[in-house]
């Protein structure tokens, strides 16, 4: 399965996916990494590993026009599965239509709690005792598609934003490659909001 990974920044989830592939734990190939920001540090990870990458700058471009460019690039690289990994832009319905049930996202909260920006900060400010992360299918709405996998972590007394974010991120790096593996292995079916994952054979 050919993955298209969309990033805007650090790229640590992209790196975790690339590591899982390199270690033979995920049978997939990263066909292209696309960043909407030219200065995304994640691009350097792609460069060092010789993974094809492309900047499609989004500043000043309307959503539909931008998404058309994205779709073209993804199709050029024959991408089967689109993985948003810290991609800080909403996608329009055209991308979802071009890749039905084939766009994934990772979000640093236990959805549906704390969607949107600064999820870890929202969790601390709300005072929850359990936080976590979610891999879900992407639909046209923010952080709202069917959930494939979640991991929970404790919020400790005296946690700083950095400490909680790091604890969540470590779990992101586990569940994102795992969820992609479920799809690569054809084990996933979606019924409405519910995602079923068949047992491994």
Q: Tell me which residues touch ligand GRF (CB under 6 A).
A: 7, 9-13, 42, 85-86, 106-108, 133, 169, 172
Q: Cβ of residue 140: shortest distance to ligand GRF, in angstroms?
A: 17
Residue of 30, 71, 68, 73 whose CA lies nearest to 55:
73
Catalytic residue ranges: 107
Which residues neighbour 132 within 8 Å (Cβ) at sequence distance 6 or greater? 109, 110, 150, 151, 152, 153, 168, 171
CB nearer to ligand GRF: give 117 or 186: 117
Q: Cβ of residue 172: shortest distance to ligand GRF, in angstroms?
A: 5
CB nearer to ligand GRF: give 108 or 145: 108
Q: Cβ of residue 122: shortest distance to ligand GRF, in angstroms?
A: 13
> How far, in whole angstroms, is CA 21 from its chain's centroid?
16
CB nearer to ligand GRF: give 82 or 133: 133
């Amino acid at each position: 399965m050919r993955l298209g990974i969309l990033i805007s920044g650090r790229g640590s989830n992209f790196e975790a996916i690339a590591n899982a592939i390199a270690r033979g734990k995920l049978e997939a190939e990263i066909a292209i990494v696309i960043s909407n920001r030219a200065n995304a540090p994640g691009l350097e990870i792609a460069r060092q590993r010789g993974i094809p990458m492309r900047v499609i700058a989004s500043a000043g471009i309307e959503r539909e026009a931008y998404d058309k460019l994205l779709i073209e690039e993804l199709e050029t690289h024959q991408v089967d599965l689109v993985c948003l990994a810290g991609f800080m832009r909403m996608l329009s319905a055209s991308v979802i239509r071009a890749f039905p049930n084939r766009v994934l996202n990772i979000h640093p909260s236990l959805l549906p709690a704390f969607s949107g920006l600064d999820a870890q900060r929202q969790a601390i400010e709300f005072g929850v005792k359990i936080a976590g992360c979610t891999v879900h299918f992407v639909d046209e709405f923010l952080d709202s598609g069917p959930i494939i996998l979640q991991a929970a972590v404790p919020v400790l007394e005296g946690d700083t934003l950095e400490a909680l974010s790091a604890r969540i991120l470590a779990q992101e790096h586990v569940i994102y490659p795992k969820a992609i593996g479920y799809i690569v292995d054809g084990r996933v079916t979606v019924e409405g909001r519910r995602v079923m994952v068949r047992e491994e054979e």
